[in-house]
Amino acid sequence: QKEVEQDPGPLSVPEGAIVSLNCTYSNSAFQYFMWYRQYSRKGPELLMYTYSSGNKEDGRFTAQVDKSSKYISLFIRDSQPSDSATYLCAMRKAGNMLTFGGGTRLMVKP
Amino acid sequence: DSGVTQTPKHLITATGQRVTLRCSPRSGDLSVYWYQQSLDQGLQFLIQYYNGEERAKGNILERFSAQQFPDLHSELNLSSLELGDSALYFCASSVGTINNNEQFFGPGTRLTVL
């Protein structure tokens, strides 16, 4: 069993929809949680990172962490075709090594 | 553009061969990380260097090695290549080495082993 699980999708939504992307993890030693966006044939780009349980908002993006359930989410409001990409969750214990989920492919249709 | 550069963009080689991938970190970043991304394994951490010294090792095969030079660029050497080594190889960089949440990824090198 992988330490970090993520539904691979693809997830297809109409423009303007609210998107919910999720990851679960099994190791309670994970302390820091990140979301990366990866466009086709590009490197991952950091969107947000958070430490504590609760919500963190940045523009149209909201990251949510529930440490008690070992569950993290990324919400995208008013989704745009330019949001079409693969979204990767990543987690870190003490130290710098990141453990990634497998990624969810998102398609936002105009 | 993250500021991290990687060369070459594409590499096609044969089984048993050796290749070198190169990475230049963002200006001011002292840490360099190497990752492998494949369809079946996803994005996996290989190794980290900080200011020339190895700092952390992940799922890196013994056939693979890396180093970071005094000018902070890094090279990942892959030898005795196998078909299963075909993947995207990413380099990332960050300012520090301890508890750094912001790693900036380069565009990657696509390796195809025939």
Query: Which among B69, B71, B111, B75 has a CA at the least distance from the CA of B91?
Result: B75
pLDDT (tens digit, 9 = 90+) per residue, A34-93?
Answer: 999 999 989 999 999 888 888 999 999 999 999 999 999 999 999 999 999 999 999 988
pLDDT one digit per residue (tens) for chain B, 114 residues:
889 999 999 999 999 999 999 999 999 999 999 999 998 888 999 999 999 999 999 989 999 999 999 999 999 999 999 999 999 999 999 987 666 668 899 999 999 999
Of the partner residues B44, B56, B107, the one whose CB lies closest to the CB of residue A43:
B107
Asked if the C-beta of A45 comes within 8 angstroms of chain B's C-beta atoms, the answer is: yes
- Dihedrals phi, psi of B90, to nearest 5 degrees: -110, 145
Asked if the C-beta of A42 comes within 8 angstroms of chain B's C-beta atoms, the answer is: yes
Using alpha carbons only, give the angle A58, A61, A66 rounded to the nearest 5 degrees.
95
Report d(CA B114, CA B105) in Å as an integer. 27
**CA gyration radius for chain A?**
13
User: Which chain A residues touch B108 with a CB distance below 8 Å?
Assistant: 42-43
Residue in A with minimal Cα distance to B50: A96
Report d(CA B1, CA A43) in Å as an integer. 10
